Amino acid sequence: MIERRDVFQAIADPTRRIIINKLSTGPLNITQIGEDLDMSKQAIAKHIKILKECGMVMMHQKGREQVCEAQLAKLDEVTDWVAQSRKVWNQRFEKLDKFLAATKNKL
Amino acid sequence: MIERRDVFQAIADPTRRIIINKLSTGPLNITQIGEDLDMSKQAIAKHIKILKECGMVMMHQKGREQVCEAQLAKLDEVTDWVAQSRKVWNQRFEKLDKFLAATKNKL
DNA sequence: TATAAAGACAACCATTCAGTTGTGCAAATA
DNA sequence: TATTTGCACAACTGAATGGTTGTCTTTATA
């Protein structure tokens, strides 16, 4: 098995997507992130760790608080992959269209 | 734990992303999909099952073959989420800009 | 017709994952 | 100063994941 700690795996978890959503509105500390998330703070901290490890969250200390900030640039990797897949998919139909047009001309 | 069989989880696995990529070019049966994937056919079949369960792959029988076809529409869910997160993220800076502009006017 | 190929089904296995609790420490606050 | 708060660290747990092998059925093919 390959080491998977990438953006795709990071956003696979619904809780982590919620965390990203929350952080989109601005920096928050771990307690604030977990506020309405019915889950221990330790669980939140683990999710943050994963998001940090794959470059989706930056952190800095502020007294005893750990302030988290989202880094949405990493999501490019996801949209790029989707765009590429869609491109190939569409090319398939374009080729079919061309073939059909060419066939039609020969009738 | 919540039941998670959605597109986000589907594309989290690198093997499944490769499968999607292959199917983007056109329909393939399970053996063809697994061709250069250094993995048992059963493993491939399991991945296909997951992709089918979350609506990313359609299948139809053709003799003894099981022909798989990608359904990329489901990827909208992913791009929509990313787009929404980015939107909120950008609004944050727009608000900051407005605030700075307003502050500047008062100096 | 005998054999090979495609794939379904099930059992099994090791690892990862998402969560828990408990302890402890440093920073903030009453 | 005593207490609370924020969070790190560690150990543990049950379930999910990603893979394996073996058996069996159906369909193609030599």
Q: Please work out, in degrees rounded to the nearest 5, the angle formed at the alpha carbon of residue A67 by the alpha carbons of A61 and A71.
A: 120
Residue A3 has pLDDT above 60, yes or no: no
Give the pLDDT band of residue A1 (cuts 50, 70, 90): very low
A9 → chain B, closest CA residue: B12
Of B72, B79, B60, B80, which Cα lies nearest the Cα of B20?
B72
Q: Which residues contact A24 (CB under 8 A, 6 or more apart)?
A: A70, A72, B85, B86, B88, B89, B92
Q: Which domains are assigned to chain A?
A: 7-106 (1.10.10.10)
Q: Block means of pLDDT (10 residues each) for chain B, length 107 residues?
A: 74 98 97 96 98 97 97 97 97 83 77
The mean pLDDT of A83-95, rounded to a whole number, is 92
Q: Which helix (H) or strand (E) holds A39?
A: none
Q: Which residues contact B20 (CB under 8 A, 6 or more apart)?
A: A85, B11, B51, B56, B70, B72
Determine the pLDDT at residue B104.
74
Entry pTM: 0.90
Residue B58's SS3 state is strand
Convert the pLDDT of each residue in A9-43 to its tens digit: 999 999 999 999 999 999 999 999 999 999 999 99
The ipTM estimated for the assembled molecules is: 0.90
Determine the pLDDT at residue A33.
98
Determine the pLDDT at residue B9.
97
Q: Which nucleotides of D are covered by protein (CB under 7 A)?
A: 5-11, 15-22, 26-28
Residues in A closer than 8 angstroms to B92, CB to CB, are: 24-26
